[in-house]
Amino acid sequence: MPVDGPEAFTLILEPVPGCNLRCRYCYSDCTGSGTMTRQTLRTALEKTVRYAADQGFREIHLLWHGGEPLLAGLDFFRTALEILAGLTPDLSCRHYLQTNGLLLDDDFCDFFRDYEFQLGLSLDGPQDLHDSMRLGPDGRGSHGAVLEKVRLLARHGMAPGFNAVITRGSLGREQEIYRYFQGLGRGFRVNPVTPGLSPENSIEYLLQPGEYGRFLCRLFDAWVGAARQRVRVSPLDLYLRALAGGGTYECQQRETCVGSCLGVKPSGDAVLCNRFETHLLGNILDREIGELLAAPICEALRRRAGMLSACHPCRYWSICHGGCPLNAWVCGQDLLAKDPFCKDYQLIFNHIERALADLQREPHPRPVP
């Protein structure tokens, strides 16, 4: 394992390319069909276990993504667990699954609970925000159906986390969004909308420079100002931890993510992560993971941080490293350019720094005699 590298290797598996929703801002091509074959699944798992062990990783994180991964059916996931059991790796394995939740039923819930899957449900917040973006094929919003699945999970003893996409419609509603998830009693993550494969479909929802940063500042104030039942908010928790300790905890702001993750599509085509839709490294059926991660794009990304010389004097370089190269690419820039959300990161980092400084300046209460 690289010095100071992450302890876990993340394999992002996309069982199916399709999806049962038609979200307005989707960045992926969800029109395909066909489920990953057992051979491809087995090969991906076998090579991941071998690579992780050889590189000295302590854990494997399996992130099931899509499309909508539940379209693969429960038997697909049963097969995956059977394959893993036969590999008997000397390192632990954790499962994370990102889903819109609409296909969850009693059997899925029991299975995910028994095998300790951590579920993330896509939920953009209050009903009008969610239903304006996350639509079914019939054009109707999915908010009510998602909440039904949240209640189903609760009956099976499971409590998911949530992922919310932030669009122009979210601006100014930070307190409301925080209180919404606070009412559900679970933590959530926010991600800014980015252009998809068809940018014309998302352009009206995109954020202008600084808008996402100011959103995060207001959300941070709502989070830390909560008197009771505070719930976790990412990436704010990771930014707070980084600024307090000086490290990098957000995957999009590591010096490089190359070597610690791999995405595998239903065909076996490998990408650096599931967002790298058009940057194929090769196919998992033909090559070992080390070979895939030696592809020219990976070598370029390993050098990227050193090439961003204009960023090096920034006071936040040690926790940002120029941000995510994919954000630069999807926003029409070079893959080796700095993240176009640079201004936004600076705004929230500075806001958290000031909050920490204010906390340190507060007088300590006098001891009670």
pLDDT mean over 165-191: 97
Residues whose CB is less than 8 angstroms from the CB of residue 348 and which lie 6 or more positions away in sequence, other chains included? 213, 216, 217, 220, 236, 239
Superfamily of 162-256+309-360 according to CATH: Aldolase class I (3.20.20.70)
Proportion of the chain above pLDDT 90, given as a percent: 78
pLDDT, residue 363, reads: 64
Question: Which residues partner with 192 through β-bridges?
Answer: 166
pLDDT mean over 249-259: 89
Whether the predicted pLDDT of 158 surpasses 50: yes
pLDDT, tens digit (0-9, with 9 covering 90-100), for 58-69: 999 999 998 899
The band of 3, judged by pLDDT with boundaries at 50, 70 and 90, is very low
Whether the predicted pLDDT of 216 surpasses 80: yes
pLDDT, residue 2, reads: 34
pTM confidence score: 0.92
Which of 134-143, 187-196, 239-248, 256-265 is predicted with the least confidence, judged by mean pLDDT? 239-248
Whether the predicted pLDDT of 152 surpasses 70: yes
- The helix (H) or strand (E) run that includes residue 84 is helix 74-87
CA angle 114, 120, 125 (to 5 degrees): 140
Which of 13-22, 97-106, 241-250 is predicted with the least confidence, judged by mean pLDDT? 241-250
Whether the predicted pLDDT of 95 surpasses 80: yes
**Burial class for 144, CB neighbours closer than 10 Å (0-12, 13-18, 19+):** exposed
pLDDT, residue 1, reads: 31
Which residues of the chain form CATH 3.20.20.70? 7-159+259-292, 162-256+309-360
pLDDT mean over 346-366: 84
pLDDT, residue 7, reads: 86
Superfamily of 7-159+259-292 according to CATH: Aldolase class I (3.20.20.70)
CA trace torsion 250, 234, 207, 213 (10° rounding): -80
pLDDT mean over 86-108: 93
pLDDT, residue 5, reads: 45
pLDDT mean over 17-33: 80
Question: Which residues partner with 61 through β-bridges?
Answer: 10, 94
Higher pLDDT, 300 or 362: 300
By the 8 A CB rule, do 209 and 32 touch? no
The band of 191, judged by pLDDT with boundaries at 50, 70 and 90, is very high
Whether the predicted pLDDT of 362 surpasses 70: no
Q: Which contacts of 206-210 are long-range, i.e. CB under 8 A and separated by 24 or more positions? A: 206/167, 206/168, 207/166, 207/167, 207/168, 207/171, 209/340, 209/341, 209/343, 209/344, 210/343, 210/344, 210/347
pLDDT, tens digit (0-9, with 9 covering 90-100), for 275-292: 887 889 999 999 999 999
The band of 274, judged by pLDDT with boundaries at 50, 70 and 90, is confident
- Separation between Cα atoms, residue 115 and residue 222, nearest integer Å: 35
pLDDT, tens digit (0-9, with 9 covering 90-100), for 308-345: 999 999 999 999 999 999 999 888 888 899 999 999 99
pLDDT mean over 69-87: 96
- Separation between Cα atoms, residue 298 and residue 257, nearest integer Å: 9
Tell me what the pLDDT averaged over the chain comes to. 91
Question: Which residues partner with 182 through β-bridges?
Answer: none
- Separation between Cα atoms, residue 364 and residue 358, nearest integer Å: 12
